[in-house]
A and B are shown apart, each in its own frame.
Chain A
Amino acid sequence: MSGAPVTVRVQRDDFDLAAEVRALSASRHDIGAVVTFSGLCRDEAGTLSALELEHYPGMAEAEIARICRQAIDRFGLQAATAIHRYGKILPGENIVLVVTASPHRQAAFDGANFIMDFLKTSAPFWKKEHATDGSAGGWVSAKDADDGARDRWSKS
């Protein structure tokens, strides 16, 4: 098992992409590639006023850390950071950040992709929509496409 550093945070506040990339690569000279993925809240063509994100404290952090460790071992990443927000999030705001580092680009791309696919299907977070017309918000349904995206990693 690799001792590559994993940083996981579940927080209400926003995050800063540049600061997280700096923190991950600070005082190292062996990293050749850094990939960042950030997921934002869409307004769904003006119908959505906010998302409310609920999570399972403790398990959320543990699951994300477990997924990051798997990605490090599978792709030989040099470091991984994952930050997920909870609470009320407005259209245009950040929801999730994944940063991966590796000697060459492919591992960092694949690692970030892998982390997101598993995060979506096994990290305990749930989104509730608030509508701009004031109607009662509904819980977002899990998508079969997300299960498919996760399962493709077990085919290769």
Chain B
Amino acid sequence: MARVDLVYFAWVRERIGKAEETLELPDSVVTAGDLLGYLKTLGEEYVAALEHENVIRVAINQEHVDHHEPIAGAREIALFPPMTGG
């Protein structure tokens, strides 16, 4: 089990219903993609937020990563939609 801080932004945050939480992740969660799959087992709100997994962006310790990236050693993992600043 690994303990990690999760932070959510924009409509991912709204659909999950919270901005941040700390979770104990099972050892089967190896990559960022595994994390998205695991979160969808936690409840309908996660399913609604992460329904279109391919559009969800992931940042580990505040750096962009793709879904294949291992999450080992992550202190903070952020999930958010494509960015629309500027």
Interface on A for B, CB 8 Å cutoff? 39, 53-56, 58-60, 62-63, 84, 95-96, 116, 119-128, 139-142, 146
Task: Check if B47 is an interface residue, CB within 8 A of chain A.
Answer: no
Interface of A is mostly: mixed
Residues of A within 8 Å of B9, CB to CB, are 54, 56, 124, 126
A122 with B84: CB separation less than 8 A: no
A122 with B10: CB separation less than 8 A: no
B81 with A125: CB separation less than 8 A: no
Q: Measured between alpha carbons, how far is A84 from B62 in the docked complex, in Å?
A: 18
B81 with A120: CB separation less than 8 A: no
Interface on B for A, CB 8 Å cutoff? 7, 9-11, 59, 62-64, 78, 80-86
Q: Measured between alpha carbons, how far is A124 from B85 in the docked complex, in Å?
A: 7
The one of B11, B64, B78, B85 in contact with A139, judged by C-beta atoms closer than 8 angstroms, is B11
Residues of A within 8 Å of B82, CB to CB, are 121, 141-142
A54 with B86: CB separation less than 8 A: no
Given contacts A128-B10, A142-B81, A122 and B64 within 8 Å (CB-CB)? yes
Q: Measured between alpha carbons, how far is A91 from B9 in the docked complex, in Å?
A: 24
Q: Measured between alpha carbons, how far is A56 from B77 in the docked complex, in Å?
A: 12
Residues of B within 8 Å of A56, CB to CB, are 7, 9, 59, 62, 78, 80
- Least distance between A81 CB and chain B CB atoms (Å): 15
B86 with A95: CB separation less than 8 A: yes
B83 with A125: CB separation less than 8 A: yes
Residues of A within 8 Å of B64, CB to CB, are 63, 122
23 inter-chain pairs at a CB distance below 8 angstroms, sorted by A residue, are A54-B10, A55-B85, A56-B59, A56-B78, A56-B80, A62-B63, A63-B64, A84-B85, A84-B86, A96-B85, A120-B84, A121-B83, A124-B9, A124-B59, A124-B85, A126-B80, A126-B81, A126-B83, A128-B10, A139-B11, A139-B81, A142-B82, A142-B84
